[in-house]
Amino acid sequence: MINRVVLTGRTTKALEVKYTQSGIAVASFALAVNRQFRDKDGNREADFINCVIWRKGAENLANFTHKGSLIGIDGHLQTRNYQDKDGKKVYVTEVVVDNFALLESKKDNAESGYDQPGVEPQNQGLDYSNNVFGQQAPSVDDVPF
pLDDT in tens, 64-96: 999 999 999 999 999 999 999 999 999 999 999
What pLDDT does 109 receive? 61
pTM for the model stands at 0.70
Give pLDDT, residue 104: 85
H/E stretch holding 55 reads helix 55-64
Mean pLDDT in the chain? Answer: 81
| Of residues 52, 56, 3, the one with CA closest to residue 27 | 52
Could you tell me the CA-to-CA distances from 118 to 39, 72, 105, 112 in Å, in that order? 11, 16, 19, 13
| pLDDT tens by residue, 93-110 | 999 999 999 998 766 666
Query: Which residue, among 78, 72, 29, has the nearest Cα to 49 in the 3D structure?
Result: 29
> Could you tell me the pLDDT band of residue 44, with boundaries at 50, 70 and 90?
confident
So what's the pLDDT on residue 39?
86
Fold classification of 5-135 (topology level): OB fold (Dihydrolipoamide Acetyltransferase, E2P) (2.40.50)
Please say whether the beta carbons of 93 and 47 come within 8 A: no
